Amino acid sequence: MTPLCPSPKLRALQNPNACWDNGAGGCGANSGDTVAAIDQAVIDGVDVLNFSISGTSTNYLDSVEVAFLFAARAGVFVATSAGNSGPTASTVAHISPWLASVAAGTHDRSGTATVILGNGAKYNGASLTPGVGPAPVRIFALSDIHVDYSENMAWIQGLSERDYSRDVLLLAGDICHDIGKLEAALKCLREKFAEVFFLNGNHDLWLLETDSSDSRQKFHRLLDLCRGLGVRTEPAKLDDGHGGLWIVPLFAWYDKPEETQNSLFLPKAGPGDEMLDSWGDEHFVRWPAGGTPSAYFLESNVTHLHRVYDAPVISFSHFLPRTDLMFPRQPGAGPQPTVWPLRAGFNFSRVAGTWALEKQIRKLGSRVHAYGHQHRNRWVTIDGIHYVSHCLGYPHERKSGRIGYFEAGPRLIWEHGRPAVPIDV
Ligand SMILES: [Fe+2]
Ligand SMILES: [Fe+2]
């Protein structure tokens, strides 16, 4: 680029023949010298000419205008000054259509705006546009990360530092029985996501490597831990850029068939239905006397059910809220099993969850409910509610494919003010 007269000093450096100091703080130019300078610039192969000198406002055949025509024909972009000396308002110099004539103006309005960054820092500056933002927030679900497996801990540590920095994670339990590893996992995820909501699974309340006297005491210790880490365990309204939405954690435990009618239990087709001895909770969980753990946790949700929610609700739990979620659901596949279909092994339906959760979800009017526990990933829509399970599970389950669909990170369940599009059913 060859400026012909960007300023008197530059003129002296780059083209002493084109302009001269007019003694009044400006410059003047002889037309012959200017035409010669334009031609020379074209010969020199410049791409853009910036001509900060006024000129004719009536004559296309002015010698400088014609020199610019030839420059434009040679492929040179020519920007010229529209002038600021009148004689009347809106008088424009360099009216030739092959030129980009540029003017500046002033007015007595002022525009200011404040930019608020993700870390809360505020910067004031000039702006004539209305404020926008915050940037849309996405909601992701994940559960059963079982970070006592070092491979699983490495998996969460390997999640992007950048991709989820404005997003929300619903972490639906079974992080680890070891409270030190559980804390490390929460800290790690808290650094990657703008917000993390957490509730416990059954493994988190195992009384292994802990000095908690019983599982209820350990539960309250986990709530304290979350408070200290800035991890949410209570309902909260979020600004997602689309009118907001509510996240509601639903604490729970499973109902065994001998405890209440709300159990998700299905009788087993074969013998050996008990086999509870192989279920770790039978050995590592201990409750204070009185009532069932399920009743205790469900009761803690009740105040949330009677609240007014002025935006869509997304709820999540660790345990399953419905019997039919235990099985793959194919469209038009007919009725769900009424017996536990596997003749061998443990009858998971005995400890899967509780129908009482489903009643709470319906009372809330949830649009999406995320859950975990079974290590079988699904996205199923039943009577208007999207039920989504996205467990990381055990390494051997992922390798065998038993866990079902699994993507490279937490599962997107909400964006643009509505449920994300399910990839499978
Ligand atoms: Fe689990
Ligand atoms: Fe679980």
User: Domains in the chain, ordered, with CATH?
Assistant: 8-102 (no CATH), 139-419 (3.60.21.10)
Distance 144 CA to ligand 2 centre (A): 7
Using the predicted structure, report yes or no on whether residue 6 has a pLDDT greater than 80: no
Using the predicted structure, report yes or no on whether residue 188 has a pLDDT greater than 70: yes
For position 322, what pLDDT does the model report? 96
Q: Quick check: 126 and 112 in contact, CB under 8 A?
A: yes
Q: What is the DSSP string of 242-269?
A: SS-EEEEE----PPPTTT-TTB----BS
- Helices 31-43 and 63-73, packing angle to 10 deg: 10
**Residue 195 token pair:** 């917000």
Ligand nearest to the CA of 375: 1
Mean pLDDT rounded to a whole number for the chain = 87
Distance 141 CA to ligand 1 centre (A): 14
Distance 372 CA to ligand 2 centre (A): 7
The H or E element that residue 404 is part of is none
Using the predicted structure, report yes or no on whether residue 330 has a pLDDT greater than 70: no
126 vs 174 pLDDT, higher one: 174
Q: Quick check: 213 and 181 in contact, CB under 8 A?
A: no
- Write out pLDDT tens, residues 127-147: 777 667 667 789 999 999 999
Give the residue from 149, 213, 142 showing the smallest Cα distance to 178: 149
Percentage of the chain modeled with pLDDT above 90: 58
For position 7, what pLDDT does the model report? 38
Q: Which of 3-12, 13-22, 387-396 has the highest mean pLDDT?
A: 387-396
Ligand nearest to the CA of 145: 1
Distance 100 CA to ligand 1 centre (A): 67
Using the predicted structure, report yes or no on whether residue 121 has a pLDDT greater than 70: yes
Ligand nearest to the CA of 393: 1
CA atoms within 13 A on the CB side of 332: 0
Q: Quick check: 290 and 173 in contact, CB under 8 A?
A: no
Ligand nearest to the CA of 285: 2
Using the predicted structure, report yes or no on whether residue 425 has a pLDDT greater than 50: no
CA atoms within 13 A on the CB side of 326: 25
For residues 200-204, average pLDDT: 98
Distance 23 CA to ligand 2 centre (A): 86
Residue 12: which pLDDT band, with cuts at 50, 70 and 90?
Answer: very low
DSSP-derived letter for residue 368 is E
18 vs 271 pLDDT, higher one: 271
Dist. CA 4–CA 15, nearest whole Å = 6
Q: Quick check: 159 and 167 in contact, CB under 8 A?
A: no
For residues 224-253, average pLDDT: 95
Ligand nearest to the CA of 253: 2
Distance 251 CA to ligand 1 centre (A): 15
Distance of CA 40 to the CA centre of its chain: 56
Distance 38 CA to ligand 2 centre (A): 79
Using the predicted structure, report yes or no on whether residue 74 has a pLDDT greater than 70: yes
127 vs 362 pLDDT, higher one: 362
For residues 389-410, average pLDDT: 89
DSSP-derived letter for residue 397 is H
For residues 356-378, average pLDDT: 97
Please give the sequence-ordered ranges of beta strands (E in DSSP) within 298-417, or none if there are none: 313-316, 368-371, 378-382, 385-389, 411-415
CA distances from 278 to 90, 101, 267 (A): 89, 84, 18
Note if the bond before 235 is cis, omega within 30 degrees. Answer: no
Give the residue from 393, 367, 389 showing the smallest Cα distance to 378: 389
In the beta sheet, which residues pair with residue 115? 123
Q: Quick check: 357 and 298 in contact, CB under 8 A?
A: yes
Distance 144 CA to ligand 1 centre (A): 4
Model-wide pTM > 0.75: no
- Nearest 5°: phi and psi at 50? -110, 115
Residue 311: which pLDDT band, with cuts at 50, 70 and 90?
Answer: very high
Ligand nearest to the CA of 142: 1
Dist. CA 298–CA 304, nearest whole Å = 11
| Residue whose pair of structure tokens reads 């989820």 in the numeric block | 164
Handedness of CA 204, 209, 211, 214 (dihedral sign): positive
For residues 44-68, average pLDDT: 88
For position 351, what pLDDT does the model report? 96
For position 18, what pLDDT does the model report? 59
DSSP-derived letter for residue 80 is E
Q: Quick check: 203 and 209 in contact, CB under 8 A?
A: no
Strand 139-142 to strand 168-171: parallel, antiparallel, or no bridges (unpaired)?
A: parallel
Dist. CA 293–CA 202, nearest whole Å = 11
Strand 122-126 to strand 48-51: parallel, antiparallel, or no bridges (unpaired)?
A: unpaired
Amino acid found at 217: Q
Amino acid found at 51: F
Give the residue from 67, 88, 91, 87 showing the smallest Cα distance to 4: 67
Distance 319 CA to ligand 1 centre (A): 10
Using the predicted structure, report yes or no on whether residue 154 has a pLDDT greater than 60: yes
Contacts of residue 100, Cβ cutoff 8 Å, sequence gap at least 6? 77, 78, 79, 80
The H or E element that residue 425 is part of is none
For position 134, what pLDDT does the model report? 65
Percentage of the chain modeled with pLDDT above 70: 88
Distance 219 CA to ligand 2 centre (A): 14
Dist. CA 370–CA 391, nearest whole Å = 10
Distance 389 CA to ligand 1 centre (A): 11
Distance 348 CA to ligand 2 centre (A): 11
Distance 313 CA to ligand 1 centre (A): 25
Using the predicted structure, report yes or no on whether residue 319 has a pLDDT greater than 80: yes
Dist. CA 141–CA 165, nearest whole Å = 15
